[in-house]
Chains A and B, each alone.
Chain A
Amino acid sequence: MIHSLFLINCSGDIFLEKHWKSVVSQSVCDYFFEAQEKAIDVENVPPVISTPHHYLISIYRDKIFFVSVIQTEVPPLFVIEFLHRVADTFQDYFGECSETAIKDNVVIVYELLEEMLDNGFPLATESNILKELIKPPTILRSVVNSITGSSNVGDTLPTGQLSNIPWRRAGVKYTNNEAYFDVIEEIDAIIDKSGSTVFAEIQGVIDSCIKLSGMPDLSLSFMNPRLLDDVSFHPCIRFKRWESERVLSFIPPDGNFRLISYRVSSQNLVAIPVYVKHMISFKENSSSGRFDVTIGPKQNMGKTVEGVVMTVHMPKAVLNMNLTATQGSYTFDPVIKVLTWDVGKITPQKLPNLKGIVNLQSGAPKPEENPSLNIQFKIQQLAISGLKVNRLDMYGEKYKPFKGVKYITKAGKFQVRT
């Protein structure tokens, strides 16, 4: 299936290549560069490119292009999903998925790639199994390795591959047994000019960090499971239990993983926690415009809205902006025309406001459209959909684990049209 993989950085250098079958010449990437040039923007590089002898399927993650070479028909999502899994694994192993991290750990990278694909077909992609095979780098281990000349390769047999719960490694032992669940909800919304909601939905995930000894069998129940409109599960979850009882029952992988992701789409359920008042105008036949934006809290259930950041892609004709912020600080990048306003926390008593003059290129026509405002924010200790974890029970092990649930609401793709 997957023949080769090239990693390419933003400046177009191929800094790593791996072939699972025969070697494919680097020149195949020229087709990719061609497409990249045509696309101008990195975001617009088509993920699937056809060349005379091969097909290139690529993803763009953390300023790196993962370009895979395919020779025959294959579901493109299969490859895309796998490449993202590779990037996730790097992230997991090295803490970041960057060119430097990959170059620093090039041996481990090759070892990982060798285990993840066998003859182009995915073999071991579960992080728990991989970690059994290849130990993640730590400072101590790399020092020891450089002295003794040993490698990161695990010296125990990876028995996880054989079990019917391949996502959990055997013989896990902790002195403190802990299970944490983060319920993270993101609001995707489009707000129109007049402030009414065009579209809104909640995308939620439950990320877990589970450090429990042995083979715990957990079941997590919600106060209001009916809220969850559409759910996707980690393979560890017993689907039948969910279908019949709406209880998440599972033997968890060890460590961090995403338990479920879900969607709450009924529009009237979505409370929009902030509102934006805006006045952006460009004068006809003059090289300036006015900009005035206020952000305020709304329906936030008594919680503070914090981490508020507004980014605006200004029209090309904008030369510079002369603004004053009553709170936080703003920057305007005249090259990419992006205005960023870091507001911080919103206090209802004194609403943050950003106001001033926009300087336009002289002679340029007045921009047709006002830019849309992209808002980010965060609300701690609140799941905006109202989802609540009821209880977590553990079977199969005898100790008493420490349990914790955290709720966060964030802005996802939150856009205000002006």
Chain B
Amino acid sequence: MTYRQTLLELDPRRVMIAKGKNASELFPAVVKNVASKNIEDPNQLIRASALRVLSSIRVPIIVPIMMLAIKEASSDLSPYVRKNAAHAIQKLYSLDPEQKEMLIEVIEKLLKDKSTLVAGSVVMAFEEVCPDRIDLIHKNYRKLCNLLVDVEEWGQVVIIHMLTRYARTQFVSPWKDDEVVEEYSENNFYESDEEQKEKDQKVKNTYTMDPDHRLLLRNTKPLLQSRNAAVVMAVAQLYWHLAPKSEAGIVSKSLVRLLHSNREVQYIVLQNIATMSIQRKGMFEPYLKSFYVRSTDPTMIKTLKLEILTNLANEANISTLLREFQTYVRSQDKQFAAATIQAIGRCATNITEVTDTCLNGLVCLLSNRDEIVVAESVVVIKKLLQTQPAHHGEIIKHMAKLLDNITVPVARASILWLIGEYCERVPKIAPDVLRKTAKTFTNEDDLVKLQILNLGAKLYLTNSKQTKLLTQYVLNLGKYDQSYDIRDRTRFIRQLIVPNEKSGALSKYAKKIFLAQKPAPLLESPFKDRDHFQLGTLSHTLNSRATGYLELSDWPKVAPDPSVRNVDVAELGISGKRRPSDSSDTESASSEENSSDSEAESDSKSDSESGKSRNATSSKVAAPVSVPTKTHELLHRMSGKGLAAHYHFSRQPGIFGDRMVSVQLTVTNTTDQKIENIHIKEKKLPPGMRMHEFNPIECLEPAGSITVSMGIDFCDSAQMASFQLCTKDDYFNVNIQPPVGELLLPVTMSEKDFKKEQGMLTGMNETSATIAVAPQNSTRLVIIEKVVKAANLGVVPSGQDNIHRFAAKTVHSGSLMLVTVELKESSTAQLIINTEKTVIGSVLLRELKPVLSQG
């Protein structure tokens, strides 16, 4: 039976359609029959799809069958079936929430799964069924962090979001308390350096990041390079919410990259950048120009970009920005032009240096032909004048003149309010304005009517001689207005300002009430309050809590016990052979785990080994610093009867197993006939040495050449590997002798660790020599280049200029190999090698000597 037939047979919709009648009663029986048959099929794909179809049937009667099937599938040998089991959990949960407890058990089991196929799906189920059961994550935290890179992209998004929430409950805040203050007030910039240092030191003393916290940050970082925008955004929000403020900056570049994508992605990313840029301007300042608006952008993108530009404005870039804004103001898209005016207003209030410039610019816009632009300018000018209670009589007069032409209600209302508020500054104009508006009162918008009443009241109080009658006229009009708001306000104002016997004590204070100093409106970003939502979520986009939104908790004051994340050997469960002892101490456990664990520990033998090689402390295998291009001759074409072979060391770690040195072999045919069946035979290897041969080359064309890879385990000795290179009708004895520098794998470690390790490898384990160094070899770069070329060493960052440190471990046993080059006076240098493998150590010393002394 094929895969698809299974599906067909099981798909209830198709079955029913085929029969053309309601078959739901017979359903459980049919399902049970068919499902039980397929769910035990020897082929994993059929088992998986049987489960998938079974769980897609939304009929409550089959819940028990489903539960049984899920349980069974969750311990299936095939990870693909287990993945489908994880999917089925959610389906069953939505069908029957009663099953929750049982399903949590399955989730718990599947969370322990080591397969990258399962990880994403089970975390999804976890989020859906029991997102509050953080305790289930503890033991799997490190594993999830380490698997993350290899999980498929959709799973990555879900896991990253979950881990963000998890981390916020488990680790203490990496944000220094005083940093927030620094971010906001630029004045601190001038603080004396010493003070700063002192502060830093204090912070450093109090805070050290949990290694697990660091692990998460480190393992998510490569995902910023994902092609999937959702993954990039997920990492960005993780860094935003979890990383120390100084590190969060690395995400900006990737976010800016997403802006080249389609408009929907742009929209979401820009929204998130808008929220980020309010709090931490510095993150996006270098990318200011990426937010410049194009006339072809959709309006929603334009306004978001404008928002970000406004957030990023500061003293340094404001002049450039204002010039850019001038282009926008003239845009044909009037809605956008209006938004630009708002933005200019915000810049003007935030950056006092340019307030006057902005104000002048806005006043110029008052003569614009487009009404929306003028109206918006009026509104913004009103707000600006309010924050700047200086003498702006001229501007107010100018605006009073505009009143004759402007019809947009908001703008008219704003002008009237301004004149009323500052009526004492324009004593001649104000009554005249009231006169004019009294005439048009009945035709005005409600908003304007209210402001006319306001203006009347204020004038009545300050200049009752001229305006008493006018105000009363306006109040009378208001009394019979259609809108009850207007009528209401009229009654209120009349009682307050016109003294009569009934009016209470309040009217005495009328002037104080109406002409009180009003607080200036704050011009701030509409994204100001969004930061309480987790970035990248639907809730953040909508700025309202979506169903199922999980709150991001505040950092705990004191971190919960970090040891809950330790995994002990017994609990490794399913494939217990992986990962040897990391229960010993918490510090090393995390760092050991992340030693790019791919195959490094898959071999069960390493269990015994790892006890010995405790030197893995906080060092991890790194990629080679340089790959030498030097090739060695394996077989000369004369002695090989036309067959030539060269080899070089490609320094790729662990292609053929973790103890093999990989060797690239290039075989060339220099004859004019085909050479067939090139292979390896008759290995004469010293005891312990192993070799992974290349697949036989079937045929090599004349003048053709082929590069193949092979792996040799040299057992950490410089003995040569001899074997026969055979063709169809001939054989040649050849041998490969490794330079000791190739028997190493570079490791990265900190200077501190290096010194610690070096301290343990003294005496017998130390060899040293004094060498003369050629003068051109005395710079740091040259030394590093020469040394890593000669031997596969990792560079250790060094605090001193004259000491250079390199670290590696031997390929076979993983013993550390520490190399120190200390430059002395008069172009000599001390070369020290610390290692348990003294033989290789001394050979390496001998090999490194000429490297540095030669020019």
Contacts and interface: CB of A to CB of B under 8 A. Distances in A.
Contacts of B707: 393, 395
A43 B298 contact: yes
Interface stretch (B326-334, B394-402, B449-457, B459-467): B326-334
Contact of A368 (B116, B253, B300, B368): B368
B549 A73 contact: yes
Nearest to B294: A415
Q: Name the 4 nearest CB pairs between A and B, nearest first.
A: A244-B623, A72-B548, A43-B298, A369-B330
Given A50-B544, A74-B538, A81 B229 contact: yes
Given A21-B94, A47-B268, A121 B121 contact: yes
A118 B87 contact: yes
20 contacts: A43-B298, A44-B300, A71-B548, A73-B547, A73-B550, A77-B269, A118-B84, A119-B56, A162-B44, A162-B80, A166-B152, A190-B292, A198-B324, A203-B260, A235-B226, A263-B257, A265-B290, A398-B706, A417-B295, A417-B327
A232 B3 contact: no
Interface string A32-72: 00000000010110111010000100111100000000111
A44 B298 contact: yes
Contact of B230 (A75, A166, A369): A75
Contacts of B541: 48, 76
Interface of A: 1, 21-22, 41, 43-44, 46-48, 50, 55, 58-61, 70-78, 80-82, 84, 118-119, 121-123, 125, 151, 153-155, 157-159, 161-162, 164, 166, 188, 190, 192, 198-199, 201, 203, 229-235, 239-241, 243-245, 258, 261, 263, 265, 267, 313, 315-316, 365, 367-369, 371-372, 374, 393, 395, 398, 400, 412-413, 415, 417
Interface of B: 2-4, 43-46, 52, 55-56, 58, 78-80, 84, 87, 90-91, 94, 116, 121, 124, 149-150, 152-154, 157, 161, 222, 225-230, 232-234, 253-254, 256-257, 260, 262-265, 267-269, 289-290, 292, 294-296, 298-300, 324, 327, 330-332, 368-370, 536-539, 541-542, 544, 546-550, 596, 622-625, 627, 697-698, 704, 706-709
A77 B230 contact: yes
A54 B87 CA distance: 22
A75 B260 contact: no
A55 B542 contact: yes
Contacts of B84: 118
A77 B265 contact: yes
Which of B2, B150, B550, B697 has the most A CB atoms < 10 Å from its CB? B2
Contacts of A121: 87, 90, 121, 124, 154
Binding site secondary structure of chain A: mixed
Contacts of A313: 295-296, 332
A403 B331 CA distance: 49
Given A71-B547, A261-B227, A417-B327, A155 B268 contact: no
A232 B227 contact: yes
Given A41-B299, A239-B225, A244-B624, A77 B542 contact: no
A239 B330 contact: no
Contacts of A125: 154
Given A395-B708, A415-B295, 17 more contacts: A1-B124, A43-B298, A58-B264, A71-B547, A71-B548, A72-B546, A73-B546, A75-B538, A76-B537, A77-B229, A119-B55, A122-B154, A155-B3, A203-B260, A243-B222, A365-B369, A412-B260
A232 B226 contact: yes
Contacts of B369: 365, 368
Given A162-B78, A199-B292, A230 B709 contact: no
Which of A71, A73, A261, A400 has the most B CB atoms < 10 Å from its CB? A73
Contacts of A72: 546-548
Nearest to A1: B124
A71 B546 CA distance: 9
A358 B850 CA distance: 80
B625 to A, nearest CB: 8
A59 B296 CA distance: 18
A76 B268 contact: yes
A46 B300 contact: yes
Given A230-B257, A234-B227, A316-B332, A243 B294 contact: no
Contact of A81 (B87, B228, B267, B549): B228
Contact of B222 (A122, A161, A239, A265): A239
A201 to B, nearest CB: 7
A112 B56 CA distance: 17
B290 A201 contact: yes
A24 B109 CA distance: 34
Contacts of A162: 44-45, 78-80
A158 B45 contact: yes
Contacts of B227: 232-235, 258, 261
B623 A157 contact: no
A263 to B, nearest CB: 6
B289 A73 contact: no
Nearest to B653: A240
A369 B368 CA distance: 12
B296 A155 contact: no
A81 B549 CA distance: 20
B802 to A, nearest CB: 27
Which of A47, A153, A413 has the most B CB atoms < 10 Å from its CB? A47
Contacts of A374: 296
A412 B546 CA distance: 37
Given A22-B58, A46-B267, A190-B294, A80 B229 contact: yes
A73 to B, nearest CB: 4
A162 B115 CA distance: 11
Contacts of B226: 232-233, 235
A232 B539 CA distance: 27
Contact of B90 (A61, A82, A119): A119
A372 B331 CA distance: 10
A185 B28 CA distance: 58
Nearest to A41: B298
Given A80-B265, A161-B80, A313-B295, A73 B538 contact: yes
A171 to B, nearest CB: 16
A369 B538 contact: no
B327 A80 contact: no
A241 B622 CA distance: 10
Nearest to B548: A72
A161 B121 CA distance: 14
Contacts of A158: 3, 45
A244 B226 CA distance: 18
Contacts of B52: 118
B292 A198 contact: yes
Nearest to A188: B260
A263 B260 contact: yes
Contacts of A118: 52, 84, 87
Contacts of B78: 162
Contacts of A371: 295, 332
Contact of A73 (B294, B539, B624, B627): B539
A271 B324 CA distance: 22
Contact of B536 (A75, A230, A235): A75
A372 B225 contact: no
Nearest to A234: B227
Nearest to A373: B295
A81 B327 contact: no
B542 A80 contact: no
A59 B262 contact: yes
A121 B161 CA distance: 15
A396 to B, nearest CB: 8
A266 to B, nearest CB: 11
A234 B153 CA distance: 11
Which of B46, B87, B295, B623 has the most A CB atoms < 10 Å from its CB? B295
A239 B221 CA distance: 11
A77 B298 contact: no
A162 B46 CA distance: 12
Contacts of B58: 22
Given A55-B542, A75-B536, A239 B149 contact: yes
